[in-house]
Amino acid sequence: MEQQNKRILTLDLIKGISVIGMIIIHTLLVYANVKSQYETAIGSFIVFLGRGTSIFLICMGITFMTSSHQSLKSALKRGVLLVFAGLFMNFMKFMIPVIFNFAPDNFIQKYGWHAPIEQQYVYLVQLGDILQLAGMSLLFVGFIREYVKNKYIILAIGLFVALISREVSGINLDYPVINYVLDLLFNTDYPAYVYFPVFPWMAFIIIGMFFGKWFQELNYNIKLVFRNMLYVGLLFIAIGAPLVFLYGDYNYNGFYHMGPGGVIYFAGWTLLFLWLINTITANVKENGFMRVLKYCSRNLTSMYMIQWILISWGKGIFGYRQHEIGYVSVLIVLYIILTFSVQTLVDIVRKKKTLINFRPVSSNKAALK
């Protein structure tokens, strides 16, 4: 049990760091001008951090295999809820500024649009982000967890998803609802529509599931599973690097729609990073900062939605991609504070709702008498 708790702490720290990181990254991408993003040391480093999506997805795969909720029904239910959560978040991000007339003009111009813009904003509500990726992926990986018991077959499925991703990209039909689902699965139209199509990004989740299954077979031995991540990570880098750097048009061709070589290469570096974080934190005693990160991990989905909504609303106040890095640094601190504040309010509302819905057994018995 101690080993399992230690494992959960390690992954919680990583997911907690990702919550803080995404606030920093999204604030920079929304408010910093091009020079600040790409021609300053701080901006370039933050943009580089934005390439860490695979870390979150592999962690998701590991915890999916070791979660206490192991039923196929729970996976499918959560998958559907996450897809709708993504649509709701997009509505709040894009439609609320239009409805209350505080959407910045230069954001509209980015898409080459002109007034009236209401219909175009409905289009933005359908944008495919990380929540839609996670939700759609759960509809697949729930079946893998339920029916595939051999860890090497799980890994093979993940690599197969990466292998065929370039071949199936762009599939679509002339039926609106079906087409939207196909876009979430196979879309190549970045940056305007789907940022993280299921193919190839689901491959990272399934690779995480492989390690989650391996972790179970090692009887939750934290040291062994992370050492195995190191070895597999080095192997993946050795395989992926030549594919990316020699045959990049097919195997990489951009971060958001990478081919098989890109998936293997990024997965390799991700596994090395996870091993490094575990090595650093293995003997660290719990402190206040670690408790904050664990809090972020527990509330990852809601904090993701909150920070994106707040940052998007702020475009109408602070402007869109207009500021130098110093100004953006102040906004980063502001949005970290705002995100935690709103999450705290959400927690208070949840607790009040729980208290209102709670009915002591003794009271019920008394009422029956």
323: which strand partners? Answer: 32
pLDDT 10s digits, 142-189: 999 999 999 999 999 999 999 999 999 888 888 878 888 999 999 876
State how far the alpha carbon of 212 is from the alpha carbons of 5, 85, 219, 228, 234, in Å: 14, 26, 11, 12, 19
Statement: residue 5 has pLDDT above 50:
no
pLDDT 10s digits, 227-245: 999 999 999 999 999 999 9
**From 31-45, 127-141, 188-202, 322-336, the region with the lowest mean pLDDT:** 188-202
Three-state secondary structure string covering 135-150 = HHHHHHHHHHHHHCCC
Q: What is the mean pLDDT of residues 293-311?
A: 96
Three-state secondary structure string covering 237-281 = HHHHHHHHHHCHHHHCCCCCCCCHHHHHHHHHHHHHHHHHHHHHH
Average pLDDT, the chain: 88
* d(C-alpha 345, C-alpha 92), whole Å: 18
Taking alpha carbons only, the member of 146, 139, 127, 159 closest to residue 256 is 127
CA atoms within a 13 Å half-sphere pointing along the CA-CB vector of 240: 23
Residue 360: per-residue pLDDT: 56
Residue 113: per-residue pLDDT: 67
